Amino acid sequence: MSTTPQISVVIPLYNEEESLRELEAWIRSVMQAHSFSYEILLVDDGSKDHSWTIVEELARLNPHVKGIRFRRNYGKSAALHMGFTHCKGDVVITMDADMQDSPDEIPELYKMIKDEGYDLVSGWKKKRHDPLSKTIPTKLFNGMTRLLSGIQLNDFNCGLKAYKSDVVKTIEVYGEMHRYIPVIAKWTGFSKIGEKVVVHRPRKYGVTKFGLERFVYGFLDLLSITFVSKFSKRPMHFFGALGTLFFLGGFGIAAYLIVMKLYYIANGVVHRDVVNNTWFYLGLAFGIIGVQLFMAGFLGEMVTMNSPKKNDYTVSDTIGMN
């Protein structure tokens, strides 16, 4: 096996003892049929069954198989991060271990990266074998992600993806951010993102490891990554602008109340005190919120200025540098 394989297949797994042998045999068959040099990284995310025993068995039988085992369940993002850290291939393929992703898609995904120049290619399960309780929220989730990110993908959450090695070595996946790898890649500077219709196979073994709560968490993660990606190095642009709007709103209400007070006095009109007016308290609240938001932006700028990563930028190429 060459030092740098053509393809690294990174597979996060959790309690997938039924499918691992069949999945490894299928991947091996595809690789041999196309004469690819390859490695398979099986990342056991704290399985409670015999998954790790099977990983050890596969590694003994096939020198291309490597395994990483977590002491407990950390989640898919952690498993992908560990796989990305240790993989060596020119092209990195990710897929789920439940046999719903087809290894037969690998050659075409590899071609799109190597020959067509894509940085990242995401699978699109156009025809899904899932209940409506899963497909409808998925469509809403994908629509919201397209709107906020500007990336025109139909299936952000598909586990079957292909990457240039530079992408997985540059981006950082944590928490539950595996759903937004295309978004992270785009905002890191990898803008050529493609999509390929892939086969979504019916589940053969086990049960899904995800519930409906993932869509709630997914939306919150999307807001988080949108904010961090756009404003992490310039928090005053967000908090300062929002604070200014609130403060100006409060100032406008106060000015209106003062003008009306003077008008009523000048014309002898009976009127109630300013402090008895609902608008007074609304304007006061706006002013206080505006100052707090502005101070949050100011503190954020101070933190950013003192951060050791304030000038941490992604460099793609250099010429004439030692």
pLDDT band at 198 (very low <50, low <70, confident <90, very high): very high
Q: For the chain, how far is it from start to end, CA to CA, in angstroms?
A: 32
Checking if the pLDDT of 222 tops 90, the result is no
- Do 193 and 261 lie in one domain? The reply is no
CA distance 143 to 59: 41
Of 202, 231, 260, the one marking the end of a domain is 231
Please give the angle made by the CA atoms of 130, 131 and 137, to the nearest 5 degrees: 90
Q: Which of these, 35, 36, 55, 37, lies nearest to 45 by C-alpha position?
A: 55
Q: Which of these, 193, 10, 184, lies nearest to 103 by C-alpha position?
A: 10
Contact of 96 with 27, CB cutoff 8 Å: no
Structural domains in the chain (count):
2
Of 231, 255, 272, the one marking the end of a domain is 231
Q: List the domain range (segments joined by +) for residue 247.
A: 235-305
Q: DSSP code of 131?
A: -
Q: Which of these, 282, 137, 161, lies nearest to 212 by C-alpha position?
A: 137
- Do 15 and 96 lie in one domain? The reply is yes
Which one has a higher pLDDT value, 231 or 277? 277
- Do 41 and 78 lie in one domain? The reply is yes
Please give the angle made by the CA atoms of 94, 103 and 175, to the nearest 5 degrees: 20
Contact of 233 with 309, CB cutoff 8 Å: no
pLDDT band at 252 (very low <50, low <70, confident <90, very high): very high
Rounded (10°) angle between helices 235-267 and 278-305: 160
Which one has a higher pLDDT value, 152 or 269? 152
DSSP-derived 3-state class of residue 91? strand
DSSP-derived 3-state class of residue 123? strand
Q: Judge whether 260 lies within some domain.
A: yes
Q: Judge whether 310 lies within some domain.
A: no
pTM above 0.95, yes or no: no
Q: What is the mean pLDDT of the chain?
A: 84
Enclosing H/E stretch for 112 = helix 106-114
| Residue showing tokens 């994908």 | 142
Between the alpha carbon of residue 250 and those of residues 79, 150, 285, the distances in Å are 48, 34, 7
- Do 173 and 245 lie in one domain? The reply is no
Q: Which residues of 91-116 are buried (b: 16+ CB within 10 A; e: fewer)?
A: bbbbbbbbbbbbbebbeebbbbbeee
> Token pair of 214, please?
């993932």
pLDDT band at 318 (very low <50, low <70, confident <90, very high): very low
- Do 136 and 203 lie in one domain? The reply is yes
Enclosing H/E stretch for 13 = strand 7-13
Checking if the pLDDT of 321 tops 60, the result is no
